[in-house]
Amino acid sequence: MENIMEFLEGRRTYRRFKQTPVPESTVKNIIEAARCASCGGNRQALKYVVAQKAEDVRAINSLVRWAAYLPAEEGTPKEDEIPVLFVAVLVDTEISQNADTDAGIAISTMTTAAWADGVGSCIMGAIDRPKIMEYMKIPETFKLHSMLAFGYPSHKSKTVPMQDGNCKYYLDENRDYCVPKRAAEEIVRFL
């Protein structure tokens, strides 16, 4: 296995995908990673809905918003670039009302498990929750926390040093993503 820091540098957000299905074994790993993730009080309030049929993926893709910092023609995947799999992350409010930290941990673990198989992802919060809930027939006792988009990336993405506090990602001349990150000195202080 490559160096863990190289692995984590590659585990970025991806927004254009090859139209190659994600194998069942990887889907299983993603769900298994979520199932065993740490969570407050070990309550396990998170539930998931997986969509991988082409018509479902297309329908859900029309209910999410891609790359707010880019014009749609640059940031929104074209028909032949959309993800091949969506996972809805749900909070079962009969178990817990607030599971935001649990969701963050589960999402991070799931996207990392996917990346171990070369499958890229995009965590999506800018989503039409009512319409996705209706489409997926999710009961009202659940909150739709976020959607995860998955697929084999058809572009690259790398971090770049942040300039003048500008956190907006952009595309380079190859249409690959460049993601500005703050310098270590800016985010940490050692006592």
Ligand X SMILES: Cc1cc2nc3c(=O)[nH]c(=O)nc-3n(C[C@H](O)[C@H](O)[C@H](O)COP(=O)(O)O)c2cc1C
Residues that bind ligand X (CB under 6 A): 12-13, 15, 65-67, 122-126, 157, 169, 179
Structure tokens that stand for 109 in this block: 């673990």
Q: Which CB atom, from 150 or from 169, has the smaller least distance to ligand X?
A: 169
**Under a CB-based contact definition with an 8 Å cutoff, are residues 64 and 147 in contact?**
yes
Burial of residue 99, with CB atoms counted within 10 A of its CB: 0-12 exposed, 13-18 middle, 19 or more buried: buried
In whole angstroms, how close is the CB of 12 to ligand X at the nearest point?
3
Q: Which CB atom, from 24 or from 73, has the smaller least distance to ligand X?
A: 73
Q: Which CB atom, from 29 or from 157, has the smaller least distance to ligand X?
A: 157
In whole angstroms, how close is the CB of 56 to ligand X at the nearest point?
19
Question: Hey, which residues does 13 pair with through a beta bridge?
Answer: 121
In whole angstroms, how close is the CB of 106 to ligand X at the nearest point?
12
Rg (CA), the chain: 17
